[in-house]
Structure 1
Amino acid sequence: MDIELVVFDLDGTLVGAPEPFVRLKEKLRSRLLAMGIPGEALGDLTPMYETLQRVSKELGIPFDELYSHMVELETERMEESFLFDGVLEVLQSLRDRGVKLAVMTRSSRRAALKALEMHGIADYFEAVSTRDDVPAGELKPNPGQLRGILEELGVEPTKVLVVGDHGYDILPARELGTLSAMITSHESGRMSFSIEVEPDFEVPTMLEFRTLVENLLDTYVVVPAYNEEQTIGSVLDSLLRYFRRDEIVVVNDGSMDRTEEIARSYGVHVLTHLINRGLGGALGTGIAYALRRGARLIITFDADGQHLIGDALRVMRPVAEGKADFAVGSRLKGDTSEMPFVKKFGNFVLDSITAIFAGKYVSDSQSGLRCFSRECASKIRITCDRYAVSSEIIIEVAKNRCRIIEVPIKAVYTDYSMRKGTNVLEGVKIALNLMFDKLR
C-alpha cells in the first residue's frame, strides 16, 4: 500500500504508565476541590481538558490556573512511563522504508516531549502535535489536529495511516479519509472512557502491528484484463488512491483494444499474453509475478469496474491482521439490491457445485475480489484457464487448509459489466469444465 505517513497516538499506543488515567483524574479532582471548586461543577472530569475549559468559563477562574495542575500531574505520570514492546522495532522498520512518522496526542507538550525524549524516540518523528499546539476546537477527536499534521508534512489523506488505542484517535482519521489501525490490548495508558468507532484494521499490541504494517506495505493487486479499454483507467485511478504503482499488476490477456496502452500510461506493471488465455491464465500469471516480487498479500481485482476500492480494503483486512489466509468478497452477504436474479441463481448453482469438491460452502465462489496471504497463494495450483478458475481457487484454498473468511461487499453492475461477466451459457460451461477436470 502507498503509505507515506504513519501518525501515532502517544499514551496507550507508544508508551504506557503504571498509573492509570483514573488515578490521574482522582489526583486532579482532589487538587481542584482543595481550590474550593464545587464537586458538582467538576462532574466526573470526563474528558479532563474540556472540563477544565468549561469550569474556567462558568466560574471565572483563569484557565491557566487550573490547567497547570493537569500538566504537572501528566508530566509526573510520564516520568514513570515505559515503551510498549515492539515500538522501537516498528519505528525503525518504518523509517528504514522511508515512511514519515508523526505523533498526535491529547497530552500537553511538556508531558509528551518528556516521554519521547526519555525513551529516546523523539528523533524518529517529523512532527509532534500536542494539546498545546492546536486550538481547543481542533484537538482530536476533531479533525483539525490531524489535518494540521497532513498539511505540515504535505501528505494526502489516503496515503496516511493513523494508529491509536481509542476512538478519539480513529474518529479524525475517518472524517479525513485516512486509514486507521486500533491497538486493542494496551490497557496501560488507555483513557478512562471509550468511544465506539470501527477502524480499518485492528491488532492487539504493537508486536502484531509490526506484522500488520509489513503486510500492508507489501500488498500487490492483480488486475486481469481483456478488452477493458472502457474501464481500466477508472479502475486504476481508484486503486492508485491507496496502492503504489509498483504494487499494481495488470495482466493484459491478449486484448485487441487499447487496454495495454492505457494501463502502461499509468506506470503500473503490465504483463501481456500474446493470445487470450482466459481469466485463469491471467490470474495465474499475475499471482506468480507478485509472489516473485516478494508480495506478502495479494489482492485480485476485476478490471470491469464492478468492485469498490473500499471493499478491497475490507477484504484484505482479515488477511492483513493474520486472522485468515484467504478472504473472498461475497456479493451475496452484502448489498444484493443491484444483483440481477439470474446472477444470484447462477452463483448459487456454481457455489453448490464448488462446495461438493471443496468440502466447504462459500456463498460467492465466483467473486473476483479476493485476498491471499503469501503462504496461501504459494500453495494453490491454478490449472483452469477460463472462468472455472474461480471455483478452482476455492477448492485449492480449502484443500490446502487455508483459513477462509467471507467479507460482505457490494458489486456495481452496469450494462458494460453485465455484458463482460459470465452468462447462463458460460455458467453451464464452468460447471461442466469443473466437474470434468476434478473427476478425471
Structure 2
Amino acid sequence: MDVRLVVFDLDGTLVGAKESFSELKDKLRKRLRQIGISDDLMGNLSPMYESLLRISRETGIPFEELHSHQVELEVERMKDSFLFPGVLESLRFLRNRGIKMAVVTRSSRKAALFALEKLKILEYFEIVVAREDVPPEELKPEGGQIKKVLDELKIPPEKTLVVGDHGYDVIAARKAGALSVLVTSHDSGRMSFSVDATPDFEISTMEKFVPFMEKLLSTYVVVPAYNEELTIGAVLSDLLRYFRRNEIVVINDGSRDRTGEIARSFGVHVITHLINRGLGGALGTGLAYAVRKGAKIIITFDADGQHLVEDALRVMKPVVEGKADFAVGSRLKGDTSQMPFIKKFGNFVLDVITAIFARKYVSDSQSGLRCFSGECASRIRITCDRYAVSSEIIVEVAKNGCRIAEVPIKAVYTDYSMRKGTNVKEGIKIALNLLFDRVR
C-alpha cells in the first residue's frame, strides 16, 4: 500500500500513565468545587475540555482560568508517563521506511510536548497538533486536527493511516478521509468513556504494529484484463488512490484492443500474454509474479469496473490482521439490490458445486475480489485456464488448510460488466473441470 504518513494518537496509543483519565477527572472536579462550581453545573465532565467551555459560558468565568487547572493536572499526570511496548520499534521502522509521522491529541500542547520530550520521541514527529491548535468544534472526533496535519504536510488522506485506541480516532480518520487502525488492548491512558466505531484495521497492541505494517507495505494487486480498454483506466485510477504503481500488476491477457497501452500509461507493471489464456491463465501468471516478488498480501481485482477499491480494503482486513489466510468478497452477503436474479441463481448453483468439491461452502465462490496471504498463495496450484479457476481457487485454498473468511461487498453492475463473467455454458464447463480434476 502507498502509506506516506502515519498520524498517531498520544494517550492510550503511544503513551500510558499510572493515573487514569477517571482519576484526573476526579481531581479536576475537586479543583472546580474549590472555586465554587457545583456538581450539577459540572455534570459528568465528559469530555473535560468541552465541559469547561460550557461551564465558562454559563458562569462567565474566563475559560483560560478553568482550562489552566486541566492543563496543570495533565502535565502532572504525564510525569509518570511511559511508552507502550513496541512504540519505539514502530517509530524507528516508519522512519527507516521514509514514512512521515505526526501526533494528534486531545491533550493540551503543554502536556503533550512534556510527555514526548520526557520519553525522548519528539524528534520522530513532523508536527504535533494538540487541542489548542484548532477550534473546539474541529477536535476529535471531528476531522479538523487530522486535516490540519494533511494540509501542512501536503499528503493526501488516502495515503494516511491514523492509529489510535478510541472510537474518536476512528471517526476523525473517516471524516478526514484517512484510513484508521484501532489499538484494542491498551487500557492505560484510554479516555474515560467509549464510542463505538468500526476501524479499517485493528491490532491488539503496538507490539503488533511493525508486523502489520510489513504486510501493508508488501501488498500486491493482480488485475486480470482482457479487452478492457473502456474500464481499465478508471479501475487503475481508483486503485492508485491506495496502492503504489509497482504494487499493481495488470495481466494483459492477449487483448486485441488498447488495454495494455492504457495500463502502461499509468506506470503500473504490465505482463502481456501473446494469446488469450483465459481468467485462470491470467490469475495464475499474476499470483506467481506476486509470490516471486515476496508479496505478503495479494489482492485480485477485476478490470471491468465491478469492484470498489474500498471493498478491496475490507477484504484485506482479516488477512492483514492474521485472522484468515484467504478472504473472498461476497456479493451475496452484501448489497444484492443491483444483482440480477439470473446472476444470483447461477452463482448459487456454482457455489453448491464448488462446496461439494472443496468440502467448504463459500457464499460467493465466483467473486473476483479476493485476498491471499503470501503463504497461502504460494501453496495453491492453478490448472484451470478459464472461469473454472474461481472454483478451483476455493478448492485449493480449502485443501491446503488456509483459513477462509467471507467479507460482504457491493458489486457495481453495468451493461458492460453484465456481459462479462460466467454464464450457463461456462457453469457446465466449471462443473466438468472440477469433476475431471477430482478423478485425475
Give the TM-score normalised by structure 1.
0.98
1:315-326 pair list within 5 angstroms: 315-326=315-326
1:401 is paired with a residue whose SS is: coil
Q: Is the 8 A contact 2:249 2:271 kept in 1?
A: yes
Residues 106-134 of structure 1 deviation map (CA, whole Å, 9 limit, x = unaligned) = 11111101111111111110010011222
SS of residue paired to 1:140: coil
Give the alignment of 1:5-404 within 5 angstroms: 5-404=5-404
C-alpha distance in 1 between matches for 2:319 and 2:68: 46
| Distance in structure 2 (CA, Å) of the matches to 1:33 and 1:263 | 67
Q: Deviations over 1:147-194 (max 9, x none)?
A: 111000001111111111111111121112110111111000000011
Query: What is the identity, as a one-letter code, of the residue corresponding to 1:205?
Result: T
Q: What one-letter code is carried by the residue in structure 2 that aligns with 1:327? A: A
Matching residue's letter, 1:370: R
Match for residue 3 of structure 1? 3
Once the 2 structures are TM-superposed, how far is the Cα of residue 434 of structure 1 from its aligned partner?
1.7
Which amino acid counterpart does residue 417 of structure 2 have in structure 1?
A: S
Task: Report the CA distance between 1:290 and its aligned residue.
Answer: 1.0
Q: Which amino acid aligns with 2:306?
A: Q
Q: Assess if the C-alpha contact under 8 Å between 2:300 and 2:370 holds in 1.
A: yes
**Deviation of the 1:144 alpha carbon:** 1.3
Q: After TM superposition, give the deviation of residue 210 of structure 1 in Å.
A: 2.1
Measure, in 2, the Cα distance between the counterparts of 1:46 and 1:363: 44
Q: What is the TM-score normalised by the length of structure 2?
A: 0.98
Report if the CA contact (8 A) 2:144-2:176 is conserved: no
Q: Secondary structure at the match of 2:366?
A: coil
Matched-pair identity in %: 73
**Separation of aligned partners in 1, 2:166 and 2:55:** 25
Shift of 1:327: 0.2
Shift in Å, 1:209: 2.3
1:201 is matched by which residue type in structure 2? F
Q: Greater CA deviation, 259-268 or 278-287?
A: 278-287
Whole-Å separation in 1 of the counterparts to 2:28 and 2:276 = 72
Residue by residue over 1:31-71, the C-alpha shift from the partner in whole angstroms, topping out at 9 and shown as x without a partner, is 11011111111111111001111111111111121111111
Q: Could you say what secondary structure the match of 1:420 adopts? A: coil
AA partner of residue 197 (structure 1): A
Gap regions ≥5 residues in structure 1: none
> Partner of 1:275: helix, strand, or coil?
coil
Query: For the residues of structure 1 that align with 2:138 and 2:346, how far apart are their CA atoms?
Result: 52
Q: Which consecutive segments of 4 or more residues in structure 1 shift more than 6 A?
A: none
| Separation in 1, partners of 2:275, 2:438 | 26
| Separation of aligned partners in 1, 2:36 and 2:414 | 68
* Other structure's SS at 2:419 match: helix
Task: Quote how far apart the aligned CAs of 1:76 are.
Answer: 1.0
CA distance in 1, matches of 2:39, 2:407: 49
1:83 offset after TM fit, Å?
Answer: 0.5
CA distance in 2, matches of 1:335, 1:58: 48
Contact 2:184–2:203 at 8 Å: present in 1 too?
yes
Amino acid at match of 1:185: S
Deviations 1:86-114 (A, max 9, x none): 11111111111111100000111111011
Q: State the aligned residue count.
A: 440
- What secondary structure does 2:222 align onto? strand
Matched to 1:264, the amino acid is R
The answer as to whether partners of 2:357 and 2:434 remain within 8 angstroms in 1 is: no
Deviations 1:181-218 (CA, angstroms, capped at 9, x unpaired): 11111000000011111111111111122222221111
- Whether the 8 Å contact between 2:358 and 2:398 is mirrored in structure 1 is yes
Aligned-pair CA distance for 1:406: 0.5
Q: Deviations over 1:367-419 (max 9, x none)?
A: 10000011111111111111111111101110111110001111111111111
2:416 is matched with: 416
